[in-house]
Amino acid sequence: MDTRARGPGAAVLLVLLAMAAGCEAPSGDEDEPAPEPEQILPLDVTVDRVDISHGALRLSATMVEGSADASVRLGDACDGREVGRGMATLSTLVWALDESELADALACNLVVHARVRTEKGHVTKEASLQLFPEVAADPDGSEQEDAPEEAAISTSLSGVAISFTSVGPRARLSVGDSLVEPTVSDEQAPDDPMTRFVVSRGDFARAILLRWPLRLEGTSFGTWLSVGGAGLEPDEVEEFEPENVD
């Protein structure tokens, strides 16, 4: 199309078109504020029982103003992904974790996530559950005077670090079929009486679920765990008992 001006009228028209183009409203994408993140409210959860059922760690908990639309997730260190399986009502939660899921939870802890219906719509509620592993010497185990004693325990993505005292220089920690070498830190003083072993999270989770003791220089140490303040006791392992057949 020929856009050359053809007289005064055409010149005025071109000026008006240019002014209209310069006054166009900017697109709304740049001026619109970013959506606010969804508010997460606290969820009141009490862990009532921790036991082992069918080779998995099972949690039984009570929720106050909870939801049947609930799940259990790992903490932020494990990207908050969902783990386990189970069922929930408005007031109860029963959830089970297998060996690999428990291994991740040892480092990242757990979060109960629920979508709760209110008068104003649905809201998200969460509750954090901390896991604390522990080991304790078998009271019926070694009777030697200088038997190893557990002194400290901590967990991280690299494993479960357990420190013992009264350990010989060639000691190895037995965890099921694995033998764990002692770990020496550059920051450890030469006269430090503690010997540190780092057990993989998978081996420690397997020891808990199968009730395998840890063994060190003739002394057995039972594995123990608490979740959200509720502890797993050895007598809370659900064992299969065959039915009597007449």
d(CA 195, CA 211) in angstroms, rounded, equals 24
| CA-based radius of gyration for the chain | 31
Q: How far is CA 99 from the centre of its chain?
A: 13
pTM score, whole prediction: 0.77
Q: Report pLDDT digits (tens) over 158-204.
A: 999 999 999 988 899 999 999 999 997 766 666 778 999 999 999 99
The answer to whether 180 and 167 have CB atoms below 8 angstroms apart is: no
- Residue 107, classed as helix, strand or coil, is helix
Query: DSSP states of 139-167 as a string?
Result: TTS---TT--EEEEEEEETTEEEEEEES-
- Residue 130, classed as helix, strand or coil, is coil
d(CA 214, CA 211) in angstroms, rounded, equals 10
Q: Report pLDDT digits (tens) over 37-63.
A: 678 899 999 999 999 999 999 999 999
